[in-house]
Amino acid sequence: MPIKILIADDHPLIAEGIKNTFENQQEYQVVAVVNNGKEALDFIEQHLVDIALLDIDMPIMDGIECAKQIIVNYNDVKVAMLSMHQEPSIIKNLIEIGVKGYMLKTIPSEELLIATKSIYNDKEYFNADVTKALLSNNTSTFHQYKQKSPLVEELTSREKEIIKYISQGFTNIQIGEKLFISPRTVDTHRTNIMRKIDVHNVASLIRFAFQNGLTS
C-alpha cells in the first residue's frame, strides 16, 4: 500500500512541483493538495493520510498551527514541514511541537523521497541546510560541559564519527560516502546513538555533541 501524502501550500506552482516529485512512484500517493491549514485539517478528518507536508506561511491557518492540531488530534498522521524559513527559533519550536521532519524547499527530489519514507517509518528527517541553520544558532548558545556526560563512554568510535558529521550538517548519504558505508547503515547508527544518549530529535543530538566536544 503506498504512503498517502497530503501537501499544503498556497503557491500552486510550488505545490505542483512537490506533487510531481511523487508522481509515477509506486510507493507514494498524493491524496490531496490544499491551500491552507484549515483545508488540510478538513481533509484529514475525512480521509486516511499518512504524512502531511506543510508549508509555514499560508492564509486562514498557517502551517505551525496546523501542525499543532494534527499532532494533538490525529496520532496516525506524521507531520513534516517543507518551507523556505531557516530561522533556528522556528525550527526548534516545531521540533518541540513534535514534527517529524523539516526540509527546505530547495531539497532535491530524490532526497525528498528518502525523507518521506524515513518519516513514514517513524524516524526524523532534517535536511543538511536545516541542520546548518540550527548549528548557526547553537554555536553561540551551547556551552561545553566542564565534565563530559558519562553517556559519551557508551558510544563507539564509529558512532562518535557519525555524531561529528551530523553536527556539521552532513546528510546520511554524504556521511555514508565519507565513511564508505551505506546510508541505511548510517541511519542505523543514528538510531542507536539517539537511544544511547537518550535524545529524540536532531536538535537535541546536536546540543549533546556541542556540550561534549564531539563536533570536531
Indicate whether 29 pLDDT > 70: yes
The pLDDT assigned to 137 comes to: 59
Domains in the chain (CATH in brackets) are 3-127 (3.40.50.2300), 142-211 (1.10.10.10)
User: 99, 81 in Cβ contact below 8 A?
Assistant: yes
- Which pTM value belongs to this model? 0.71
Please tell me which of 107-111, 133-137, 208-212 the model is most confident about, judged by mean pLDDT: 107-111
Q: Give the helix, strand, coil percentages of the chain, each rounded to 5.
A: 55, 15, 35
Return the percentage of the chain with pLDDT > 70, whole number.
91
Q: Which long-range contacts (CB under 8 A, 24 or more apart) does 13-16 make?
A: 14/55, 14/105
**Sheet bearing 78-83, strands edge to edge:** 28-34, 3-8, 51-54, 78-83, 101-104, 125-126
pLDDT tier at 193, thresholds 50, 70, 90: very high
Determine the Cα–Cα distance for residues 176 and 95; give it in Å rounded to an integer: 25
Determine the Cα–Cα distance for residues 50 and 56; give it in Å rounded to an integer: 19
What is the rounded average pLDDT of the residues 87-101?
84
What is the rounded average pLDDT of the residues 183-196?
90
Question: 137-146, pLDDT tens digit by residue?
Answer: 554 444 555 5
Sign (positive or negative) of CA dihedral 148, 152, 157, 159: negative
The pLDDT assigned to 59 comes to: 93
Indicate whether 56 pLDDT > 90: yes
What is the rounded average pLDDT of the residues 24-32?
94
What is the rounded average pLDDT of the residues 101-107?
88
pLDDT tier at 107, thresholds 50, 70, 90: confident
Can you read off the three cell numbers belonging to residue 167?
A: 553536527
The pLDDT assigned to 135 comes to: 64
Q: Give the mean pLDDT of the chain.
A: 87
Q: Which residues pair with 101 in a beta bridge?
A: 80, 125
Indicate whether 157 pLDDT > 90: yes
Residue 198: how many other CB atoms lie within 10 Å: 10
